[in-house]
Structure 1
Amino acid sequence: MSYKKSEMLYDDGVYYKWKAVADHDNPYYTKGIDHSELNRTEGYEILYFINHIGVKHWPVNPLNLSTYNKIERMIRHSVPSDIRTHKKIADWIISNWSKV
């Protein structure tokens, strides 16, 4: 199961941006580099990141909707704002999974 835009908790048309405004933005974002920063308000980046972390860190146990929702909530409300790279955010989520 993969997480879909229609299942996202904060896809209310206000929080996430789904159109690339800047020339360097890619609305069809399909890859994340561990050292690159995750833009937490660009929906396509968050959606890819959530699916990527799910497959990478829970490959044997398929994720359900509540797990995807928890990852999204953690990114929005729990991951400290000074943690910005894909790798550091993923590491923080995994190490704090049972605490949040």
Structure 2
Amino acid sequence: MKFHGGRGPALSTIQQVSQQEKDDDMPALTKSDLHYEYSWKAVTGDDPNKTLIDADRLSRAEGYEVLYFLNHLKGKGGVDLEKKTRLIVEWMLHAELPGTIQGRKKIHDWVVANFSTLKAGYPF
């Protein structure tokens, strides 16, 4: 299945990329783009400047972790994703992701497996 009216990358190939691989052309989300309320204050043991190495666990309540996760999703071949696609994933994380799924890799895999089915329910 394709995104964006058939022009975008297949979701089954979304992947996390390193900061070095992030292109200047990427339509990165900003704090003001997000639809949900988050804490922007790091809790003890967390460092908002070290989101990748901070922990394997993705805190859905901490904005800097969610923003980092969303902005580092790419499509097949490293193709950038549109902001709307990233916002659909934000909604999925907030409203649909089961609490039993922990860890960035497992969350990523769940998003890939469920995007096509859940995107139709995106409320924004």
Fold similarity call, TM over 0.5:
yes
More helix by share: 2
Unaligned ranges ≥5, structure 1: none
Q: 1:47/1:83 Cα in 2 relative to 1: closer, same or farther (>3 Å)?
A: same
Alignment partner of 1:16 out of 38, 43, 66: 38
Q: 1:98/1:76 Cα in 2 relative to 1: closer, same or farther (>3 Å)?
A: same
Q: 1:96/1:32 Cα in 2 relative to 1: closer, same or farther (>3 Å)?
A: farther
Distance in 2, matches of 1:40 and 1:79, equals 10
The offset of 1:39, in angstroms, is 0.8
Unaligned ranges ≥5, structure 2: 1-26, 119-124
The offset of 1:25, in angstroms, is 1.2
Tell me the secondary structure at the aligned position of residue 81 of structure 1.
coil
Number of aligned residue pairs:
91
Contact 1:83-1:89 within 8 A present in 2 as well: yes
Tell me the alpha carbon deviations over residues 61-100 of structure 1, each in whole angstroms, 9 at most, x when there is no partner: x211211110100000111110010000000000111110
The offset of 1:32, in angstroms, is 4.9
Alignment partner of 1:87 out of 84, 105, 113: 105
Confirm or deny that 1:50 pairs with 2:76: no
Q: 1:30/1:36 Cα in 2 relative to 1: closer, same or farther (>3 Å)?
A: closer
Contact 1:38-1:86 within 8 A present in 2 as well: yes
After the TM superposition, which segments of 4 or more aligned residues of structure 1 sit over 4 Å from their partners? none
Q: 1:76/1:95 Cα in 2 relative to 1: closer, same or farther (>3 Å)?
A: same
